[in-house]
Amino acid sequence: MAKQLFYSLYAWEPANLLLVASEQGLFRIEFVRPGEEDRFLTALPPTVHLVKDERAFDKVRPQLDVYFSGKPVDWQMALDVSSGTDFQQLVWSALRRIPYGQTITYGQLAQSIGKPGASRAVGAANAANPLPVIIPCHRVVAGNGRLGGFSGGLHIKQALLRLEGALL
């Protein structure tokens, strides 16, 4: 049986956000350049039935509007992170506790979940984060002060950190 997912685009400069939701909640956010939406949509397995539905994101859009206006948001929406392993979900939960406008290192994040030697595993869990912005993996930087990686590209990570005032 096919899993039904709903999608919509949210316009933001420097990249649009492709929002995807399941019946359980917001399922995925992908940063896409205008015209590249099909790259993600056609990469889904055939067991997924995708339906464009703007109304599925009525609670998400106003909160994104506040966030992208440069204000902190206490995200109030159902999230579907069922695709993650237990470890990934532990990391994603810790990411949600990083305050707006602040950064921590991968090592500090590993320490905060009680796994001080797991910096690389924490980095891998960050890379697998299905909901960037909502689960703020952009707030994690390398121990040497560099930005590290970001699934949407370093220019997006820089833009998010600048928006929050964490990067000048």
Tokens, residue 15: 């990249």
Give me the active site residues, please.
137
| Cα–Cα distance measured from residue 72 to residue 63, given in angstroms and rounded to the nearest whole number | 9
Find where tokens 């397995």 sit: 45
